[in-house]
Structures are given as C-alpha cells and as structure tokens.
Amino acid sequence: MTEQRPPRALRWAVRFHPAAYRAEHEAELTAIYTEATQDAGPLGRLREALDVAGHGLRRRTGLGSDRTAGQVLAHAAPLTVAAAAGGSVASLLWLYTPGVRGLPSSSFPGALLLADQGLVPLFWLAALTAVWTGRWGVARTLVVPATLLRLADLPLLLLAHSFHDTYAGAALNLIVPLLTGAVVLAAPGDLLGSSRPQRTAIAGTTALTTVLWVAELVGVYHPLVGGPPLTHALWAGILAAALLFSRRDRLTAAGLAVALLPGALKMTVSLLYPVSPAGVGALLVILLSGAVSVVRARRRRAQVTPPSAA
C-alpha cells in the first residue's frame, strides 16, 4: 500500500487548518478532495481548494458552523446583503437625483468614481436576488467585486480631489466595505440557504435600511426634525434594539445586529468626529446593549441547551 502525496493546491489549503485538526483529518480531506476533483479543470480544483482553505480558516477562528459565532454569521450573511442592498437603493437614488450629485465627472478619476458608484449598487442588488433564490455561490461571487469596487472609492476620491473627510472618515471608507464583505464570505456555507422566515427577515432588513438611508438623502434637501444627528443615531438605536430583543430568536437578532454593525459604525463614528452629545449617546447605547447581550449569552452558555440542527 502506498501513501499518496496530496495535490499542491490542497497542501496549500490545508495549511489554514489548526495543526491538531490537520493531523487528524488531512488524510480524509485529501481523499475527498482528490475524488471530487478527478474530472475538474484548474479552475474547479482552485475553487475546491479555496473551499477547503475557507473551512480551515473557520476552524482556526472559531467561525465553523458547529460554533455559535459561525451560526450568528450564517444568520447575519443574508441580512448583511439585504442591508447593503438597502444602501444601494439609496445610493442609486442619490446618484440619479438632479442637483444632489457632488462628484466631478469631468476628470478621469471622477468619471471612474461615478462609474464605480453606479456599479457597486448593481452588484449588491444582484447579490440580493441570488440570496433570495438560495444561490449562495453566485451571491458570494458577486460580493467580491462589490467589495473591491467599494474599496477603490477612497483612492479614486483622493485622485479626483473630492475627499473632504477626516482620517476617521478615510478609515471608515475601508473598514465598512471590508466588514460587510467579510461577514458574507466568512459565513459557513453549510448553514446558508433560503427559507421563508429568512426571506421575511431579508425583506424587512432591506426595507429598514432603505428607509434609514433615504432619510439621510431626504435630509440633504429638507432638514428633518433633529437633523443628521438624529438620522445617524437611529442606526445605533436599531442596532441596540436588535441586541436587546434577542430573547425570542437570539440567532436572528444577533445576525441582524452584525448586519447593521457596518452602517451603525459609520454613522456613530461620524457623530464622534468631532465629538457631539448625539455621538456619545449613540456610543453608550451600543456599548450598553452589547454588554447586556454578552452577559445574557454567558448566562445561557452556563445552561445546557441542545444545538439547532439547521
């Protein structure tokens, strides 16, 4: 009997697994990978290896589907796509509303930026359609260019001399899309699907975030009662509500909180630079609701509860 050497792509992929796990499971992973890719081309082998690497990273970071964090991510992923799609609807409205657009389209970077800001919402809306129909492979593939294009915003804004924000604003331009994309890509694939309750949550989140972002847009034309501090602080309030009202369906509520986190982060930071009472209030609300949620989770962990089979 001869021990066969694993293919190079797989050898690279299994390095992402913790050493102990690799020692125990590498032979079986190799067997499954080899059989699964026997008729596959280079692209098929690469995708299979990336999937193995993703599994290894989830094992290493405690985000596997057998862990609570992984289950929260699986609930957060569709809602994150929904939240990003809600923002996309507002972005498209902003882009095509006469008199609001403030980007110069005359320069090359400005034109690229406009194209970028028109394309990203389309990717997110297409990803939402894929999630709605349960086509998660397509959805995750679409999220990659959507995230990369959004990351290109900052250098394009700088090149177009249209960036008038603070360092914190610049950091948010990178952190928010990275966080959004990471939640969708890191969610364990075996827990992703499309069920009726999930579609209801997706529709609700899309509607909620569309309203929140459109309120921002309307505020540009007609200052609302309370002004931008109120519309910004609303994100923190809704995030806190998701964290606090997690008793009934804790995974969905925690998933919603994770999905709203990028938007809430963006809005709260913008209220904190420069420091404002609304910003401090929003931060306190988030921190307190987060602390309550952690204490509850610790108490629950102390009790023995059977896991969900989903």
Q: Which residues bind other proteins (CB under 8 A)?
A: 1-4, 13, 25, 27-36, 47-48, 50-56, 58-59, 64-66, 134, 188-197, 306-310
Residue with tokens 């996309």: 88
Residue 81 in tokens: 């796509």
Minimum CB distance to other proteins, residue 6 (Å): 9
* Minimum CB distance to other proteins smaller for 99 or for 197: 197
Taking the C-alpha atoms of residue 152 and residue 287, their distance in angstroms, rounded to an integer, is: 31
* Minimum CB distance to other proteins smaller for 48 or for 216: 48
Minimum CB distance to other proteins, residue 256 (Å): 16
Residue 158 in tokens: 């700088």
Minimum CB distance to other proteins, residue 265 (Å): 28
Minimum CB distance to other proteins, residue 32 (Å): 4
| C-alpha closest to that of 277 among 231, 233, 236 | 233
Minimum CB distance to other proteins, residue 207 (Å): 22
| C-alpha closest to that of 265 among 294, 236, 293 | 236
* Minimum CB distance to other proteins smaller for 177 or for 255: 255
* Minimum CB distance to other proteins smaller for 56 or for 228: 56
Cis peptide preceding 42, ω within 30 of 0: no
- Cα 126 to chain centroid, rounded: 15
* Minimum CB distance to other proteins smaller for 4 or for 97: 4
The residues near 12 (Cβ < 8 Å, ≥ 6 apart) are 49, 53
Taking the C-alpha atoms of residue 183 and residue 180, their distance in angstroms, rounded to an integer, is: 6
Minimum CB distance to other proteins, residue 85 (Å): 21
Contact 269, 92 (CB under 8 A): no
* Minimum CB distance to other proteins smaller for 61 or for 276: 61
